[in-house]
Amino acid sequence: MLPAIAAILQSPFATLPQMIHACAQARPGHPAIIQGDRIVDFAGLEAMMERVAASLQRDGYAHGDVIAVCAASSIEYAAVFLGALRAGVAVAPLAPSSTADSLRSMLGNAESRLFFVDAQVRRAIGTEPLPNDATCIALDGSVEAGKPLEDWLEPAGTVAAPVEVRPDWPFNLIYSSGTTGTPKGIVQSHGMRWSHISRAARGKYDETAITLISTPLYSNTTLVSFFPTLALGGTVVLLAKFDAGEFLRLAERHRVTHAMTVPVQCQRIMARPDFDAYDLSSFRLKFCTSAPFSPALKADVLARWPGGLIEMYGMTEGGGSFELLAHEFPNKLHTVGRPVPGADIRLIDESGAEVARGEMGEIVGHSASMMNGYHRQPEKTAEAEWHDPAGKRFIRTGDLGRFDEDGFLVLMDRKKDMIISGGFNIYPSDLEVEVARHPDVAEAAVVGVPSEKWGETPVAFVVMRGQASTTGDELMSWVNERVGKTQRLSGLKVVQELPRSAIGKVLKRDLREAWERPHA
């Protein structure tokens, strides 16, 4: 590890811009970010950050202010994000896949007066005035999107005034995906991000790391890999839009050592007929998170993709995180691993009381990585918290699980997705596993829909394999012969693909709505 970085890591707290400055001093010409044929080294990245920070200070921005960014991943996007942090300003990275109404709602909630966009996003949100009379700055330089970034920036060589950032200052507002309702702005602090970087330093990230980023920069999934790579002096390779073939080509070309993926990406990568033709021997670790990761897919990755595999389970809100070192515990692939060091994890019942060891309950967690709260939504913040009898604050996950005899967490289901049919609890994940056992099934999702007879009843949406000959009715009969009487599917629909968020989560709300529309 770089001596300057090793020294910083001995301190109780440091900021990401401070660490990037140390890297720029130690190895100014080392590549920081690669995007296509473009390369920016650490000296160049720090210079871009300083210009952004100075421009914000010129416009009166300081601690307590928020800027919003909504665009495809790029070097400019990264520089604006990091430059805002250098100025003590928080960042709200928004999903370009959001609807125009949702973007306006998030922009209003964040109280952002500067909105960094690209041409595609600017067209999507329309020409009506934006909340807070926000000014658009075009990251891609397109005049139609707003004032070109280069025109907004202070001249090259400008250095921002010093800012003494405190650990509790807001670092970013990560908006929830909106898969369960109106997106909420999750306020993460500089201290929370520092804990992520410190944890990564104990792993296999260092100045020799080359991390392939193929998930968008607005996602916390991305940022827990992106920020530590830069903080510790490594190199980020940006893939603005995921493509399995391009992922493999870039991994081989740049001798990638680390990658953060989501399960649907892993599935598409492993399914490529030419997967074994690529030289992936440089990999040290692959991380996978954000959605259910099947044991069979984990086993396939372990068998054919060099390097270790770590499944990460947790929430953007923080509180409790788990890691499954799949390469060390191949007999625990049905779990999401053990709590990370320093995390206090409890399981509670419906009344808020802790359950006995081995029993199922809602997962709540306390750690150094906890959100400050939901931005301007104190009631929602309170709903997300649980306090033990001593008053210790925990974050509720909304997930149900149980610990096995070795302390590994077996994840059961989302509490909100649990189906209560005729008084019986039905866990969609159990049914999804059963449906996926059929050789003609590529993937499946089960949701609960209203039923006059049972209150709720489970139905399945299934994507079949290319050469499948089984019909939907035949598949439903096959499944119902193998599950308990109370678990039987009342309907099954074959679809071309499952609706997903940009980060790969199945949008179950969309599936419920799709089922009810034709059956209204």
The SS3 call for residue 491 is: strand
pLDDT for residue 518: 57
The strands making up 491-494's β-sheet, listed across from edge to edge, are: 441-451, 455-464, 491-494
Q: What digits encode the pLDDT tens for the residues 20-60?
A: 999 999 999 999 999 999 999 999 999 999 999 999 999 99
Q: What is the pTM of this model?
A: 0.86
Cα separation, 47 vs 376, in Å, equals: 34
Q: Average pLDDT of 80-101? A: 95
* Region(s) of the chain under CATH 3.30.300.30: 426-516
pLDDT for the residue numbered 182: 67
Q: Is 327 helix (H, G, I), strand (E, B) or coil?
A: coil
Residue 164: partners with Cβ closer than 8 Å, 6 or more residues away: none
**Sheet of 373-374, strands arranged across:** 147-148, 135-138, 114-117, 66-70, 90-93, 170-175, 185-189, 373-374
Measured CA distances, 478 to 7, 366, 429, 440, 492 (Å):
61, 43, 17, 12, 12
Strands 344-348 and 31-35: unpaired
Quote the CA–CA distance of 16 and 30 in Å, as a whole number.
17
Query: d(Cα 501, Cα 494) in Å, to the nearest integer?
Result: 20
pLDDT digits (tens, 9 = 90+) for 462-520: 999 988 999 999 999 999 999 888 899 999 999 999 999 878 889 998 999 999 875 54
| Residue 349 confidence (pLDDT) above 60 | yes
Residue 384 backbone dihedrals phi, psi, to 5 degrees: -85, -5
Q: Report the pLDDT value the prediction gives residue 204, as an integer from 0 to 100.
A: 79
354-409 pLDDT per residue, tens: 999 899 999 999 998 899 999 999 999 999 999 999 999 999 999 999 999 999 99
Residue 211: both structure tokens together? 């991390």
Q: Where in the chain is the domain with CATH 3.40.50.12780?
A: 3-241
- C-alpha dihedral sign at 129, 70, 108, 154: negative
Contacts of 79 (CB under 8 A, 6+ apart): 40, 45, 48, 49, 52
Q: Does the pLDDT value for residue 179 go beyond 70?
A: no
User: Under CATH, what is the fold of the domain 3-241?
Assistant: Rossmann fold (3.40.50)
Give residue 422's pLDDT.
83
- Per the CB < 8 A criterion, the answer to whether 393 and 364 are in contact is no
Q: How far apart are CA 147 and CA 140, in angstroms?
A: 10
Distance CA 370, CA 317 (A): 6
List the beta bridge partners of residue 517.
none
Round to the nearest angstrom and report the end-to-end CA distance of the chain: 61
Q: What does the H/E/C string look like for 381-436? A: HHHCEEECCCCCEEEEEEEEEEECCCCCEEEEEEHHHCEEECCEEECHHHHHHHHH
**Which residues, in sequence order, are CB contacts of 463 under 8 Å at separation 6+?**
441, 442, 443, 444, 494, 495, 496, 497, 498
Looking at residue 520, its pLDDT comes to 42
Tokens coding 112: 């952002």
The rounded percent of the chain whose pLDDT value lies above 70 is 98
Confidence of residue 178 (pLDDT cuts 50, 70, 90): very low
Tell me, what's the pLDDT at 499? 94
- C-beta separation of 114 from 65 below 8 A: no
Q: Are 182 and 158 in contact (CB under 8 A)?
A: no
Contact between residue 187 and residue 372 where contact means Cβ atoms under 8 Å apart: yes
Class of domain 426-516: alpha beta
Assign 180 a pLDDT band (cuts: 50, 70, 90).
very low
**Containing H/E element for 22?**
helix 16-26
- Please give the single-letter amino acid code of residue 35: Q
Render pLDDT for 210-252 as a digit per residue (tens, 0 to 9): 999 999 999 999 999 999 999 999 999 999 999 999 999 999 9
Strand 135-138, strand 147-148: pairing:
parallel
Encode 131-169 in three state secondary structure: HHHCEEEECCCCHHHCEEHHHHCCCCCCCCCCCCCCCCC
Pull the structure tokens for residue 21: 């400055």
Query: What angle is formed at CA 128 by the lines to CA 125 and CA 131, rounded to 5 degrees?
Result: 80
Is 60 exceeded by the pLDDT of residue 278?
yes
The fold of 335-414 is Luciferase; domain 3 (2.30.38)
| Dihedral angle computed from the Cα positions of residues 69, 73, 75 and 76, in that order, rounded to the nearest 10 degrees | -30
pLDDT in tens, 433-457: 999 999 999 999 999 999 888 889 9
Q: Are 422 and 456 in contact (CB under 8 A)?
A: no
